[in-house]
Amino acid sequence: MGELLADHTTLRLGGPADQFLTHTDPATWPDLARSVPGTKVPFVLGGGSNTLADDAGYPGTVIRMATRGITQHPLDDGLVEVIVQAGEPLAEVVEFTAAQGLSGIEYLGGIPGTIGAAPVQNTGAYGQQISDTLSRITAYDWQLRRTVELRPDNCDFGYRTSAFKNSPGRWTILAIALRLIRSPLASPVSYPHLADALAVPLGARPPLAEAAQAVLADRHHRGLTLPAEGPDCRQAGSVFLNPAVTPAQATAIHHAGGPVHRTSDGSLRASAGWLLEQAGFHPGRRIGTGVYCSDSRTLTLAARESATAASFAHALRVLADAVVATHSIRLRPEPGGMLKT
């Protein structure tokens, strides 16, 4: 039997891949790409923290990106370009850059997964997203069958979306370049509870190291970290994106006491967690075979003993349908993957 995808996803779900390759040495990429048959594009995995893999596995090649390496060189005006290989854990890159006194990704600390996957859903937190500081992406284009350099302007970045998400399988991200600012100060704080934790007003620029620490503490406090063990250790974080709402829906939600915020792409977004709670769900609630709202957050589903990818996908449908019934809003699953939900 092939390598089980359950061993490579944080939900620990998923059957065998026909062929499973681990990419560790950037220099060997051309050979690896040539070895993949031309008929079907491979599925690329980073840390598997945003992937729901099918119980039947994957009928093709899965490539796990495990290349490591960070280099940096100064540019003009206090800017520094940091080039990171795709398999570097995002959380470690944030720790590294904060320790080097480089500001720009400090609010992305504590997010599981690899930096190579971050552009796919334009990974973000606390008002910061990876596209804010991306300057270049080196990727393999499976359509052209060659390595290309992509500029962020051509990647259709938006709230938790990108060209990579919209054309699954077309590109494999090999490395990214970030443009960070050498500064002892973090980017302006835009989240009220983080500002409170740091005892600074909104918009202030706290010391970089303190901001990075406050993010980790806040994530821990709010159940936004991946526990090593315990009932919630098998999860993929938030299971739905905060949905875009119309001004009329935003007003109705606001009057009902729900949060609505405007994202950097200008859209009004409601809180998916709040909508689920309005629909009657709560932390710890069971949603079908082996699938529960996590003990600390309704918006995080945890897979427990008897869960399967099918029961997890079913739970997503149950939650999404309930919010359609209560608010006429269709939630979209955040984890991507090999399984249609």
Residues that bind ligand FAD (CB under 6 A): 10, 43-51, 65, 86, 90, 111-114, 116-118, 120-121, 123-125, 164, 171-173, 224-226, 235-237, 336
Question: Choosing from 238, 269, 294, 297, which is the catalytic residue?
Answer: 238
Q: Clarify whether 264 is annotated catalytic.
A: no
The SS3 assignment for 282 reads coil
How far is the C-alpha of 298 from the C-alpha of 239, rounded, in Å? 9
Q: Clarify whether 3 is annotated catalytic.
A: no
Nearer to ligand FAD, 6 or 120 (CB): 120
Output the smallest distance, CB 88 to ligand FAD, in A. Answer: 10
Nearer to ligand FAD, 164 or 327 (CB): 164
Residue given tokens 């069971």 in the structure block: 286
Nearer to ligand FAD, 30 or 78 (CB): 30
Output the smallest distance, CB 16 to ligand FAD, in A. Answer: 17
Q: Report the chain's C-alpha Rg in angstroms.
A: 20
Nearer to ligand FAD, 17 or 327 (CB): 17
First to last CA, the chain: 26
Question: Choosing from 88, 103, 106, 160, which is the catalytic residue?
Answer: 160
Among candidates 58, 80, 63, which has minimal Cα distance to 2? Answer: 58
How far is the C-alpha of 222 from the C-alpha of 237, rounded, in Å? 12
Nearer to ligand FAD, 160 or 327 (CB): 160
Output the smallest distance, CB 71 to ligand FAD, in A. Answer: 18
How many CA atoms, within 13 angstroms, populate the side-chain half-sphere of residue 76?
A: 0
Please say whether the dihedral angle defined by the alpha carbons of residues 105, 106, 107 and 108, taken in this order, is positive or negative. positive
Question: Choosing from 3, 88, 106, 334, which is the catalytic residue?
Answer: 334
Instruction: Determine contact, residues 334/160, Cβ cutoff 8 Å.
Output: yes
Output the smallest distance, CB 258 to ligand FAD, in A. Answer: 20
Q: Clarify whether 238 is annotated catalytic.
A: yes
Q: Are strands 134-141 and 146-150 parallel, antiparallel or unpaired?
A: antiparallel
Output the smallest distance, CB 107 to ligand FAD, in A. Answer: 9
How far is the C-alpha of 194 from the C-alpha of 217, rounded, in Å? 10
> Which positions are catalytic?
160, 238, 334
